[in-house]
Amino acid sequence: MDRFRIGSRSILIATGLSLLVVGCGKPAGEATNAGESANGAEPEMQPTTDALITRARDIFKPIPVNAPSLPGNPATADKLALGKMLYFEPRLSVTHSISCESCHNIGLGGADNSPTSAGFHGQRGARNSPTVFNAVFNFAQFWDGRAKDLEEQAAGPLVNPVEMASPKEHVAQQLAALPNYRDAFARAFPNDANPVSLANAQKAIALFEATLITPNAPFDKYLRGDATALNVTQKAGLSLFMDKGCSTCHSGVNLGGTMYAKFGQIEAPDAKYLPVGDKGRGGITGNAADDYFFKVPTLRNIALTAPYFHTGSEGDLAKAVDVMARTQLGLTLSKAETDQLVAFLGTLTGDQPQIAAPQLPASDAKSPPPAP
Ligand code: HEC
Ligand code: HEC
């Protein structure tokens, strides 16, 4: 592990695990979140002879307590602070009414508990808003994986007509018009001659999102060797999750986010879950073999982020589990099995990020007005 000091803050980077901590001596009012409140040392994996823990460790990994670093986007406290402001900034939308937080609410598990998200002028996109929590651990972003990482993803909603509907120029114009943003960008990107840009906004937002991780779920404690962190029913659910084959798709640190899979691998789902029009990955690659493949979503904090599926068409987690068993594995679960699986999924709820809303620069007479 290498330790760097930037100003009064210490940044800890572990190249193998890719960890980063910004903390110590943070100014009052700055965000406290998993990344910032962590003290640098990852909890250890305790030696264990427990057969279930040993088996689970081969398939899943605990969420680190420190935010991961992003390649090519080194963390500084100034960049993080800017990213947080932009995440909460409604003036990035042409109507000045929608921010990332609107659809990825930090108090609602990083999602919006709505089937599909209300966006620009109340139009609805066709897909459910996935949680941003732990999204940094996903191998690609969006249900169809069309963005490779958080940085690339962040441009999407800013210019997507159904989401924030900002023309590209609007974003930079809007930000450059507010003197405090000019300063905030200059501090965050000190070596950049023109720091206020969409590209730099994407970098700062991505960095902030990387801190939105939810460590210390009962399942993480269990994986680290605390055999008492799960009760008997939850352990039975974990066994079923592996025995029945859920973990062939939902694996890794996020129990998802490592691969694409066809929704309806064994049996076609009901059209309300899988309407014919949304071909998922096939819509991106144009390859018929990819039709109806979607990114296997994370199951982290799943108890907090109903409704489920890319259509947001199932509000009941037990029903979603039954749909999965049938469509992906060709299995009909008993009520007891479903209950055990749901109990296990409940152990995936971790510490929610504690974020104080940032102070945003006030608009003034020269600031561009919202579009009508
Ligand atoms: C109007 C609602 C809305 C707004 C505003 C919005 N999003 Fe999203 N977001 C969505 C929806 C819906 C999806 C899924 C779209 C898809 O997969 O095609 C999504 C997907 C994502 C993902 C991918 C997560 C994953 O696991 O695939 C991330 C990350 C994300 N948004 C971050 C942001 C950020 C950052 C902003 C602000 C710049 C933002 N979103 C603004 C609705 C919204
Ligand atoms: C063949 C791969 C595969 C298997 C096996 C599988 N899943 Fe899934 N799972 C997916 C995909 C793909 C989705 C996304 C479906 C969609 O909405 O397009 C998903 C979605 C889910 C969701 C909804 C997540 C959300 O945020 O909306 C839950 C819950 C879930 N799976 C649980 C399970 C359980 C429990 C099992 C075992 C009974 C299981 N899955 C087996 C691939 C799989």
Per-chain mean pLDDT for the chain = 86
Show the DSSP H helices in 24-65 as ranges: 34-37, 51-57
Domain ranges within the chain, ordered by starting residue:
2-40+73-210, 218-346
For residue 325, the one-letter residue type is: A
Does the CB atom of residue 308 touch ligand 2 within 6 A?
A: yes
Name the β-bridge partners of 23: 10
The answer to whether the 2-40+73-210 and 218-346 domains have the same CATH topology is yes
Mean pLDDT, rounded, for 61-70: 97
Q: Is 163 a catalytic residue?
A: yes
Q: How far apart are CA 195 and CA 155, in angstroms?
A: 16
The answer, yes or no, to whether residue 5 has pLDDT greater than 60, is: no
**Which pLDDT value is given to residue 97?**
85
Q: Which two tokens stand for residue 111?
A: 């999602």
Kindly indicate the confidence band of residue 218, based on its pLDDT and cuts at 50, 70 and 90: very high
Report which ligand 1 atom has the smallest distance to the Cα of 144.
17
Phi, psi of 265 (to 5 degrees): -55, -40
347 CA from centroid of ligand 1 (Å):
25
Which tens digit of pLDDT belongs to each residue from 134-148?
999 999 999 999 999
Superfamily, domain 2-40+73-210 = Cytochrome c-like domain (1.10.760.10)
**Which pLDDT value is given to residue 159?**
62
The answer, yes or no, to whether residue 280 has pLDDT greater than 80, is: yes
Q: How far apart are CA 91 and CA 95, in angstroms?
A: 7
Show the DSSP H helices in the chain as ranges: 34-37, 51-57, 77-87, 100-103, 150-159, 168-176, 179-188, 198-210, 218-223, 232-243, 281-285, 317-329, 335-346
* Straight-line distance from the first to the last Cα atom of the chain, in angstroms, rounded to the nearest whole number: 52
Greater pLDDT, 9 or 54? 54
Mean pLDDT, rounded, for 82-92: 93
**Which pLDDT value is given to residue 35?**
42
**Which pLDDT value is given to residue 6?**
31
Q: Which of 243, 246, 340 has most ligand 2 atoms within 8 Å of its beta carbon, as the pocket-test mutant?
A: 246
290 CA from centroid of ligand 2 (Å):
17
Q: How far apart are CA 327 and CA 304, in angstroms?
A: 23
* CATH (one of 3.40.50.720, 1.10.760.10, 3.30.420.40, 1.20.58.2030) for 218-346: 1.10.760.10
Closest CA to 301 of 368, 215, 191, 207: 215
The answer, yes or no, to whether residue 31 has pLDDT greater than 60, is: no
Classify strands 2-6 and 260-262 as parallel, antiparallel or unpaired.
Answer: unpaired
Q: Which of 132, 202, 255, 355 has most ligand 1 atoms within 8 Å of its beta carbon, as the pocket-test mutant?
A: 132
Mean pLDDT, rounded, for 213-232: 98
The answer, yes or no, to whether residue 238 has pLDDT greater than 90, is: yes
Residue nearest to ligand 2 atom 37, measured at CA:
246
139 CA from centroid of ligand 2 (Å):
16
**Which pLDDT value is given to residue 170?**
67
**Which pLDDT value is given to residue 249?**
98
Closest CA to 293 of 265, 312, 322, 326: 265
Which tens digit of pLDDT belongs to each residue from 183-211?
999 999 999 998 988 899 999 999 999 99
Q: Residues near 364 by Cβ (< 8 Å), separated by ≥ 6?
A: 178
Mean pLDDT, rounded, for 262-287: 96
Closest CA to 89 of 100, 103, 79, 105: 100
Mean pLDDT, rounded, for 318-345: 98
**Which pLDDT value is given to residue 198?**
85
Q: How far apart are CA 258 and CA 281, in angstroms?
A: 14
Q: How far apart are CA 19 and CA 197, in angstroms?
A: 27
The answer, yes or no, to whether residue 51 has pLDDT greater than 50, is: yes
**Which pLDDT value is given to residue 167?**
62
Task: Please pick, among 163, 209, 314, 337, the residue that the annotation labels catalytic.
Answer: 163
Q: Which sign, positive or negative, has the C-alpha torsion 275, 277, 278, 283?
A: positive
Look up the pTM and report it.
0.90
Q: Which two tokens stand for residue 142?
A: 């969006």
